[in-house]
Amino acid sequence: MLKVIGNKKQFETFVSSTEGESKRSLFVHFSAPWASSCAQLDNLLMELQREYGQNAFDIAKVDAESLPEVSMAQKVCAVPSVIIFKGGKVAGRVEGFQPAELKDWAAKCSLDSFSAGESDAPSGAAICEDLNSRLKRLINTARLTLFMKGTPEGPKCGFSRQIVDLLRSHNVDFWTFDILADEQVRQGLKSYSDWPTYPQVYLDGELLGGLDVIREELKEQNFVDRLPKKH
Protein backbone atom coordinates (compact mmCIF):
# COMPACT_ATOMS: atom_id res chain seq x y z
CA MET A 1 0.00 0.00 0.00
CA LEU A 2 1.28 3.48 -0.89
CA LYS A 3 1.55 5.62 2.25
CA VAL A 4 1.12 9.38 1.81
CA ILE A 5 3.53 11.37 4.00
CA GLY A 6 2.16 14.76 4.99
CA ASN A 7 4.84 16.27 7.24
CA LYS A 8 8.45 16.04 8.32
CA LYS A 9 7.67 14.00 11.44
CA GLN A 10 5.83 11.35 9.42
CA PHE A 11 8.78 11.15 7.03
CA GLU A 12 11.28 10.69 9.87
CA THR A 13 9.10 8.05 11.50
CA PHE A 14 8.69 6.16 8.24
CA VAL A 15 12.42 6.16 7.43
CA SER A 16 13.47 5.24 10.97
CA SER A 17 11.02 2.31 11.06
CA THR A 18 13.71 0.02 9.58
CA GLU A 19 16.63 1.08 11.75
CA GLY A 20 18.47 -2.07 12.79
CA GLU A 21 16.90 -4.02 9.90
CA SER A 22 19.56 -3.91 7.19
CA LYS A 23 17.52 -6.13 4.85
CA ARG A 24 14.23 -4.22 5.07
CA SER A 25 13.75 -1.62 2.33
CA LEU A 26 11.67 1.52 1.92
CA PHE A 27 10.91 3.28 -1.36
CA VAL A 28 10.04 6.97 -0.97
CA HIS A 29 8.67 8.71 -4.07
CA PHE A 30 9.17 12.49 -4.16
CA SER A 31 6.45 13.72 -6.50
CA ALA A 32 4.47 16.74 -7.67
CA PRO A 33 0.79 16.86 -8.71
CA TRP A 34 1.57 18.66 -11.98
CA ALA A 35 3.97 15.95 -13.24
CA SER A 36 2.06 13.22 -15.09
CA SER A 37 5.03 10.86 -14.81
CA CYS A 38 4.62 10.93 -11.02
CA ALA A 39 1.19 9.32 -11.28
CA GLN A 40 2.68 6.68 -13.56
CA LEU A 41 5.44 6.05 -11.05
CA ASP A 42 2.93 5.65 -8.20
CA ASN A 43 1.18 2.95 -10.23
CA LEU A 44 4.48 1.25 -11.04
CA LEU A 45 5.53 1.14 -7.38
CA MET A 46 2.20 -0.37 -6.35
CA GLU A 47 2.42 -2.88 -9.18
CA LEU A 48 5.93 -3.91 -8.13
CA GLN A 49 4.85 -4.29 -4.52
CA ARG A 50 1.95 -6.52 -5.59
CA GLU A 51 4.33 -8.56 -7.73
CA TYR A 52 7.00 -9.08 -5.09
CA GLY A 53 4.73 -9.11 -2.04
CA GLN A 54 3.98 -6.75 0.83
CA ASN A 55 6.96 -8.09 2.80
CA ALA A 56 9.50 -7.20 0.10
CA PHE A 57 9.50 -3.43 0.71
CA ASP A 58 7.31 -0.55 1.88
CA ILE A 59 6.38 2.39 -0.34
CA ALA A 60 5.45 6.00 0.38
CA LYS A 61 5.11 9.31 -1.44
CA VAL A 62 6.05 12.86 -0.50
CA ASP A 63 4.84 16.03 -2.22
CA ALA A 64 8.27 17.55 -2.87
CA GLU A 65 6.98 21.12 -3.08
CA SER A 66 4.76 20.91 0.01
CA LEU A 67 7.65 19.61 2.11
CA PRO A 68 10.66 21.58 0.80
CA GLU A 69 12.65 21.06 4.00
CA VAL A 70 12.49 17.29 3.54
CA SER A 71 13.20 17.51 -0.19
CA MET A 72 16.25 19.72 0.34
CA ALA A 73 17.59 17.51 3.13
CA GLN A 74 17.33 14.50 0.82
CA LYS A 75 18.92 16.41 -2.09
CA VAL A 76 15.89 16.00 -4.33
CA CYS A 77 16.45 18.15 -7.41
CA ALA A 78 13.69 16.89 -9.71
CA VAL A 79 10.46 14.95 -9.75
CA PRO A 80 9.81 12.13 -9.88
CA SER A 81 12.63 10.88 -7.69
CA VAL A 82 12.65 7.69 -5.64
CA ILE A 83 14.99 7.23 -2.70
CA ILE A 84 15.58 3.72 -1.38
CA PHE A 85 16.29 3.41 2.35
CA LYS A 86 17.71 0.41 4.21
CA GLY A 87 18.20 0.40 7.95
CA GLY A 88 17.29 4.08 8.11
CA LYS A 89 20.01 5.07 5.61
CA VAL A 90 19.95 5.92 1.91
CA ALA A 91 20.85 2.84 -0.15
CA GLY A 92 20.18 4.31 -3.57
CA ARG A 93 18.06 6.64 -5.66
CA VAL A 94 16.33 6.67 -9.04
CA GLU A 95 15.79 10.05 -10.63
CA GLY A 96 13.14 10.47 -13.31
CA PHE A 97 10.70 7.88 -14.59
CA GLN A 98 13.04 4.89 -14.95
CA PRO A 99 11.00 1.65 -14.83
CA ALA A 100 13.96 -0.64 -15.52
CA GLU A 101 16.02 0.81 -12.66
CA LEU A 102 13.09 0.57 -10.26
CA LYS A 103 12.52 -3.05 -11.27
CA ASP A 104 16.19 -3.73 -10.56
CA TRP A 105 15.83 -2.30 -7.07
CA ALA A 106 12.55 -4.10 -6.44
CA ALA A 107 14.05 -7.45 -7.43
CA LYS A 108 17.14 -6.90 -5.28
CA CYS A 109 15.14 -5.76 -2.25
CA SER A 110 12.80 -8.72 -2.62
CA LEU A 111 15.72 -11.13 -2.50
CA ASP A 112 17.26 -9.25 0.44
CA SER A 113 14.04 -9.57 2.43
CA PHE A 114 13.86 -13.26 1.55
CA SER A 115 17.40 -14.03 2.74
CA ALA A 116 16.78 -12.01 5.92
CA GLY A 117 13.91 -14.34 6.80
CA GLU A 118 15.69 -17.60 6.04
CA SER A 119 16.14 -18.55 9.68
CA ASP A 120 12.37 -18.64 10.05
CA ALA A 121 11.85 -21.02 7.14
CA PRO A 122 10.33 -24.35 8.20
CA SER A 123 12.50 -26.53 5.96
CA GLY A 124 15.10 -26.63 3.22
CA ALA A 125 12.40 -27.63 0.75
CA ALA A 126 10.35 -24.55 1.61
CA ILE A 127 13.38 -22.31 1.12
CA CYS A 128 14.06 -23.91 -2.26
CA GLU A 129 10.46 -23.44 -3.35
CA ASP A 130 10.50 -19.80 -2.25
CA LEU A 131 13.78 -19.12 -4.04
CA ASN A 132 12.46 -20.71 -7.22
CA SER A 133 9.44 -18.42 -7.18
CA ARG A 134 11.75 -15.41 -6.91
CA LEU A 135 13.98 -16.69 -9.70
CA LYS A 136 10.90 -16.99 -11.87
CA ARG A 137 9.95 -13.39 -11.11
CA LEU A 138 13.47 -12.21 -11.94
CA ILE A 139 13.46 -14.10 -15.23
CA ASN A 140 10.15 -12.50 -16.16
CA THR A 141 11.09 -8.96 -15.15
CA ALA A 142 11.40 -8.08 -18.84
CA ARG A 143 10.76 -9.82 -22.14
CA LEU A 144 14.51 -10.37 -22.50
CA THR A 145 16.50 -10.86 -19.34
CA LEU A 146 20.27 -11.29 -19.12
CA PHE A 147 21.95 -12.79 -16.05
CA MET A 148 25.56 -11.66 -16.25
CA LYS A 149 28.68 -10.95 -14.23
CA GLY A 150 28.63 -7.23 -13.52
CA THR A 151 26.50 -4.66 -15.29
CA PRO A 152 26.24 -3.51 -18.93
CA GLU A 153 28.31 -0.45 -18.00
CA GLY A 154 30.81 -2.50 -15.99
CA PRO A 155 30.93 -6.16 -17.09
CA LYS A 156 33.14 -8.36 -14.90
CA CYS A 157 34.05 -10.98 -17.51
CA GLY A 158 34.74 -11.14 -21.23
CA PHE A 159 31.73 -13.32 -22.02
CA SER A 160 29.37 -10.88 -20.32
CA ARG A 161 30.96 -7.95 -22.15
CA GLN A 162 30.61 -9.70 -25.50
CA ILE A 163 26.96 -10.61 -25.04
CA VAL A 164 26.06 -7.05 -24.01
CA ASP A 165 27.83 -5.74 -27.11
CA LEU A 166 25.96 -8.25 -29.30
CA LEU A 167 22.54 -7.32 -27.91
CA ARG A 168 23.27 -3.60 -28.16
CA SER A 169 24.48 -3.95 -31.75
CA HIS A 170 21.01 -5.27 -32.64
CA ASN A 171 19.23 -2.52 -30.65
CA VAL A 172 17.75 -5.11 -28.29
CA ASP A 173 15.82 -3.88 -25.25
CA PHE A 174 16.98 -6.02 -22.31
CA TRP A 175 17.14 -6.08 -18.51
CA THR A 176 20.11 -7.42 -16.59
CA PHE A 177 20.85 -8.94 -13.20
CA ASP A 178 24.35 -9.05 -11.71
CA ILE A 179 24.79 -12.59 -10.41
CA LEU A 180 27.99 -11.58 -8.57
CA ALA A 181 25.85 -9.42 -6.28
CA ASP A 182 23.72 -12.34 -5.07
CA GLU A 183 25.18 -15.79 -4.42
CA GLN A 184 21.72 -17.32 -3.90
CA VAL A 185 20.65 -16.33 -7.39
CA ARG A 186 24.01 -17.31 -8.88
CA GLN A 187 23.86 -20.85 -7.54
CA GLY A 188 20.08 -21.28 -7.58
CA LEU A 189 19.66 -20.36 -11.22
CA LYS A 190 22.12 -23.05 -12.30
CA SER A 191 19.83 -25.71 -10.84
CA TYR A 192 16.60 -23.96 -11.78
CA SER A 193 17.46 -23.85 -15.48
CA ASP A 194 19.92 -26.78 -15.59
CA TRP A 195 22.51 -24.50 -17.17
CA PRO A 196 25.84 -24.36 -15.28
CA THR A 197 27.51 -21.26 -16.76
CA TYR A 198 26.97 -17.52 -17.20
CA PRO A 199 25.87 -15.38 -18.92
CA GLN A 200 22.33 -16.72 -19.37
CA VAL A 201 19.71 -15.14 -21.63
CA TYR A 202 15.93 -15.60 -21.26
CA LEU A 203 13.27 -14.57 -23.75
CA ASP A 204 9.63 -14.46 -22.63
CA GLY A 205 10.52 -16.53 -19.56
CA GLU A 206 12.35 -19.27 -21.48
CA LEU A 207 16.09 -19.97 -21.40
CA LEU A 208 17.80 -19.33 -24.74
CA GLY A 209 21.34 -20.11 -23.62
CA GLY A 210 24.69 -18.40 -23.31
CA LEU A 211 27.04 -16.42 -25.49
CA ASP A 212 27.67 -19.06 -28.17
CA VAL A 213 23.96 -19.81 -28.59
CA ILE A 214 22.99 -16.14 -28.86
CA ARG A 215 25.82 -15.38 -31.27
CA GLU A 216 24.56 -18.11 -33.63
CA GLU A 217 20.88 -17.23 -33.22
CA LEU A 218 21.53 -13.59 -34.07
CA LYS A 219 22.64 -14.68 -37.53
CA GLU A 220 19.02 -15.63 -38.24
CA GLN A 221 16.72 -12.73 -39.12
CA ASN A 222 13.64 -14.57 -37.85
CA PHE A 223 15.24 -14.75 -34.42
CA VAL A 224 16.28 -11.09 -34.50
CA ASP A 225 12.73 -10.08 -35.41
CA ARG A 226 11.40 -11.82 -32.26
CA LEU A 227 13.54 -9.77 -29.91
CA PRO A 228 12.19 -6.67 -28.13
CA LYS A 229 13.73 -3.51 -29.56
CA LYS A 230 14.52 -0.13 -28.06
CA HIS A 231 12.39 2.67 -29.46
DSSP 179: G
Give the pLDDT confidence score for residue 121 in this predicted structure: 40
Give the pLDDT confidence score for residue 116 in this predicted structure: 45
When computed from its CA atoms, the radius of gyration of the chain, rounded to whole angstroms, is 19
The burial of 49, by beta-carbon neighbours within 10 Å (0-12 exposed, 13-18 middle, 19 or more buried), is given as buried
Give the pLDDT confidence score for residue 113 in this predicted structure: 57
Q: Which helix (H) or strand (E) holds 201?
A: strand 200-203
Of 161, 209, 155, 208, nearest in space to 180 by CA: 155
DSSP 26: E
Instruction: Give the full edge-to-edge strand order of the sheet including 57-63.
Output: 2-5, 57-63, 25-31, 81-86, 89-95
Give the pLDDT confidence score for residue 118 in this predicted structure: 43
Q: What stretches in the chain show pLDDT beneath 70?
A: 21-23, 112-129
The 10 Å Cβ neighbour count of residue 165 is 11
Q: ∠ at Cα 79 (42, 108), nearest 5°?
A: 55
pTM above 0.75, yes or no: no
Give the pLDDT confidence score for residue 23 in this predicted structure: 66
The 10 Å Cβ neighbour count of residue 152 is 18
Give the pLDDT confidence score for residue 98 in this predicted structure: 86
Q: What is the pLDDT of residues 117-142, one digit of tens each?
A: 444 444 445 445 578 888 888 899 88
Give the pLDDT confidence score for residue 21 in this predicted structure: 66
Give the pLDDT confidence score for residue 54 in this predicted structure: 74
